[in-house]
Amino acid sequence: MAVVLVDAGGTNIGSVRYALQRLGVDAALTSDAQTIRNADKVILPGVGAAAPGMARLHELGLVELMRSLTQPVLGVCLGMQLLCERSEESDTTCLGLIPATVHRFVEAPGLRVPHMGWNRLKATASHPLLKGLDEHSWAYFVHSYAVPVGNYSLAVADYGGEFSTVIARGNFHGMQFHPERSAAVGATLLKNFLEL
């Protein structure tokens, strides 16, 4: 099975790659369009801001390619947000694959932004990506912007209100948390993606 990590400049690429190696998969890091097109599974990792993330995809000539992929695709953290229509962060137009606008968390007493640390995942739909997820599943988050809940949501968490933590629409999937930092839960969900 050929799995590729899209080299879109995310700082979590090394840790995602290592998490996949622990599952027996050596994912190639690439920005080559043909390699991405021919892969069995495509992962778009990302840490940072939406505008530079999209600028990097444009610079590499990968925007239309990403939109045209038919194999399973997984966006991780910022990568998940880039799958959406737009982000309020610098009013950025994203890939437009998930019908949602990414919003910034609203700061409130006891709710610091960024949302950083462990939070419980609650499944809201049945999907092969969630196999093994139960009410005791926690994941590790670091983000200031979030995807609202919609008909693409598979799982949510609560931080001053519910937001999407796992999403899917067609062959496009996303995880807002860092599966590579989320111990057994993260490993399980990555394994589920590889088995799609």
Residues with a catalytic annotation lie at: 77, 178, 180
Task: Sort 91 into a burial class: Cβ within 10 Å, 0-12 / 13-18 / 19+.
Answer: exposed
DSSP lists the bridge partners of residue 98 as 84
Question: Cα separation of 85 and 189, whole Å?
Answer: 24
